[in-house]
C-alpha cells in the first residue's frame, strides 16, 4: 500500500526545496559580487557606481534562510527515521527531480553569463576562473547530494558531513560579504554620502539651467528654488544643513559638502565624461570636500526667452 502524503509532508518538503533554491541563488550572487569587487569588470559605460545592495541582500538571505533550510531538512530526516516508508513519497521524488532540473538550469545560466563576460573582455581571466569554479562546485555538490539521496546512498554520517561542509561554506561566504560591505553603521554613513552626491548633482544642473536661462550664475542657491515647478533646495541628509555654493568666475562655481567616508576606499566611483556633460568627477575624501565646475560656453549656450504678457480682457 502506497504511503499517503499528508499536508505536513508536502509543506515540509516544499519548504526544504524552496530554502535550497534561495540559499543556492544567494550564495552564487554573493560570491560573484565579492569576486567582482576583488577583480572589477571593465564597465560598458563611462558611468560606474558601486552599491552595497548586491551584497547586502544575499548576506541577509543566507543569514535567515540557511538556518530555516537546515531546520526543515532536520525535520524531514527525523520523519524518515520514524516512518521509513515516507522516503517513497511521490512528493519527495518529484520535488527532488524538479530541484535537480531547476538548479541545473539556474547554474548553467550563470555559467553562460560568466563565459559571455569573459569572451566579451569584461572579466579578467582570474575572475572568470573563480566564477566558473563557484558554479561547478555548487552545481556538483547539489547534484551529487540529491542524486545519492534519491538512490538511498546518503546515511546519517554522510548527512552530518554534508551539513558541516555546507555550514562552513556559508559562514565563510557571509564573512567575505561583511569584509566587502562593512558594518551596518558604515553602510549607513555611505548611504548618507550617496545622497549628498545625488543632491549636489541636482543642484549643479539647476545652476546650469539658471545660467542658460539668464546668462549669469545665481548669487545664492535660494535663487534656483522654484515654487512654481516645485523644486526645493535639498539639504544634508544627516545634519540638515544647507550645501555650500560659491561663484569662482564668470561661468565657474563650486559646490561643497562634508562626507563621512573616502569614496575610493569603498570603490564608490561616480564619474560622467560623456558628450554633453561637464567633467564630473565626484570622487571625494573624508571630511569637507569641494567640487569645482566650469560651464562650457559652447555646450551650454544662453537661451534667453522673452516672457509674453498675458492679455487682459
pLDDT-based confidence at residue 46 (cuts at 50, 70, 90): very low
- What would the pLDDT profile of 82-139 be if each residue is shown by its tens digit? 877 777 777 777 887 887 787 677 767 777 877 777 777 665 677 778 888 888 888 8
Q: Give the C-alpha separation, 177 to 158, whole Å.
A: 29
Mean pLDDT of 1-12: 71
Partnered with residue 256 across adjacent β-strands are 244, 290
Residue 38 to residues 31, 34, 124: CA-CA distances in angstroms? 11, 6, 11
Mean pLDDT of 179-188: 76
Regarding beta strands 244-249 and 287-294, do their DSSP bridges make them parallel or antiparallel, or are they unpaired?
A: unpaired
Q: Provide the b/e sequence for 164-187 (b: ≥16 CB within 10 Å).
A: eebeeebeebbebbeebbbeeeeb
Place of cell 545665481: 218
pLDDT-based confidence at residue 299 (cuts at 50, 70, 90): confident
Residue 52's pLDDT is what?
Answer: 58
- What would the pLDDT profile of 238-273 be if each residue is shown by its tens digit? 999 999 999 999 899 999 999 998 877 655 544 444
Q: Give the C-alpha separation, 165 to 167, whole Å.
A: 6
pLDDT above 90 as % of the chain: 19
Residue 270's pLDDT is what?
Answer: 44
Amino acid at each position: 500500500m502506497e504511503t499517503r502524503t499528508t499536508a505536513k509532508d508536502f509543506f515540509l518538503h516544499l519548504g526544504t526545496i524552496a530554502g535550497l533554491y534561495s540559499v543556492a541563488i544567494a550564495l552564487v550572487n554573493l560570491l560573484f559580487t565579492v569576486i567582482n569587487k576583488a577583480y572589477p569588470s571593465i564597465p560598458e559605460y563611462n558611468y560606474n557606481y558601486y552599491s552595497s545592495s548586491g551584497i547586502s541582500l544575499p548576506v541577509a538571505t543566507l543569514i535567515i534562510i540557511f538556518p530555516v533550510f537546515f531546520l526543515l531538512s532536520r525535520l524531514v530526516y527525523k520523519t524518515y527515521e520514524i516512518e521509513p516508508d515516507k522516503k517513497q513519497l511521490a512528493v519527495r521524488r518529484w520535488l527532488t527531480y524538479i530541484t535537480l532540473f531547476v538548479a541545473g538550469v539556474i547554474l548553467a545560466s550563470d555559467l553562460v553569463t560568466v563565459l559571455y563576460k569573459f569572451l566579451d573582455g569584461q572579466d579578467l581571466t582570474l575572475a572568470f576562473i573563480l566564477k566558473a569554479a563557484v558554479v561547478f562546485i555548487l552545481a556538483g555538490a547539489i547534484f551529487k547530494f540529491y542524486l545519492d539521496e534519491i538512490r538511498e546512498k546518503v546515511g546519517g554520517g554522510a548527512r552530518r558531513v554534508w551539513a558541516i561542509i555546507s555550514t562552513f561554506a556559508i559562514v565563510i561566504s557571509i564573512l567575505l560579504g561583511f569584509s566587502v560591505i562593512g558594518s551596518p553603521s558604515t553602510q549607513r554613513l555611505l548611504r548618507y554620502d550617496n545622497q549628498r552626491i545625488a543632491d549636489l548633482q541636482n543642484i549643479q544642473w539647476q545652476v546650469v539651467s539658471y545660467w542658460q536661462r539668464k546668462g549669469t550664475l545665481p548669487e545664492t542657491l535660494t535663487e534656483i528654488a522654484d515654487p512654481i515647478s516645485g523644486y526645493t533646495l535639498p539639504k544634508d541628509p544627516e545634519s540638515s544643513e544647507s550645501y555650500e555654493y560659491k561663484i569662482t568666475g564668470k561661468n565657474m562655481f563650486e559646490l561643497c559638502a562634508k562626507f563621512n567616508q573616502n569614496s575610493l576606499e569603498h570603490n564608490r566611483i561616480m564619474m560622467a565624461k560623456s558628450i554633453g556633460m561637464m567633467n564630473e568627477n565626484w570622487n571625494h575624501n573624508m571630511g569637507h570636500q569641494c567640487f569645482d565646475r566650469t560651464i562650457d560656453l559652447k555646450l551650454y549656450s544662453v537661451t534667453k526667452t522673452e516672457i509674453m504678457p498675458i492679455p487682459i480682457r
